[in-house]
Amino acid sequence: METKKVAIIMGSDSDWPCVKGAAVQLKKWDIPFEVHVMSAHRTPAAAAAFAQNAAQNGFGVIIAAAGMAAHLAGAIAANTVLPVIGIPCKGGAMDGLDALLATVQMPSGIPVATVALNGAKNAAVLAAQILAVSDERIAGLLKQARADMEKEIAAKDQKLQEELAAL
């Protein structure tokens, strides 16, 4: 079975610094993805068409990122039954609070999974977890990543204990 792709959609190219971590993580795990700039407000027809055709174009999850009060994730979710993960980007007069609220406050029946402000890496991890439901290779990558994190934390604790012993 071919791995489903992840779409990463940004409302503006200025969102790339906020989103780049998702692309880096997906590339690290060799999960196919595409990144596009589409605006819920400036290119609504293109954004809607992309979402409406995403499943038939091989996508399994869509990550949508926008700053300020832009509501890209919601506009995408309204046009697909695929899981949509929103990344609210920091910036603007409210430093991301408006983006967070616009992303998380969805009406009943049109959910958007929302990660933290600028939470691109977690968006990629969540996308991988969704794909892992039907993709054993990705499930294995996630299990290995968790094991690696556990080893890293144990090593940090060991270093701390050695420093404490030397006090």
CA dihedral of residues 111, 115, 118, 119 (deg, nearest 10): -140
pLDDT tens per residue across span 107-155 = 999 999 999 999 999 999 999 999 999 999 999 999 999 999 999 999 9
Ranges assigned E (strand) in 68-134:
84-89, 113-114
pLDDT at 27: 98
| Cα–Cα dist 15/128, whole Å | 21
**Is the confidence at residue 163, as pLDDT, over 80?**
yes
**Is the confidence at residue 1, as pLDDT, over 80?**
no
**Is the confidence at residue 22, as pLDDT, over 90?**
yes
pLDDT at 49: 98
- One-letter amino acid of 145: A
3-state secondary structure of 22: helix
pLDDT at 123: 98
Q: Enter the tokens of residue 85.
A: 């993960």
pLDDT tens per residue across span 70-119 = 789 999 999 999 999 999 999 888 989 999 999 999 999 999 999 999 99
pLDDT at 71: 86
pLDDT band, residue 69 (cuts 50/70/90): confident
**Is the confidence at residue 31, as pLDDT, over 90?**
yes
3-state secondary structure of 46: helix
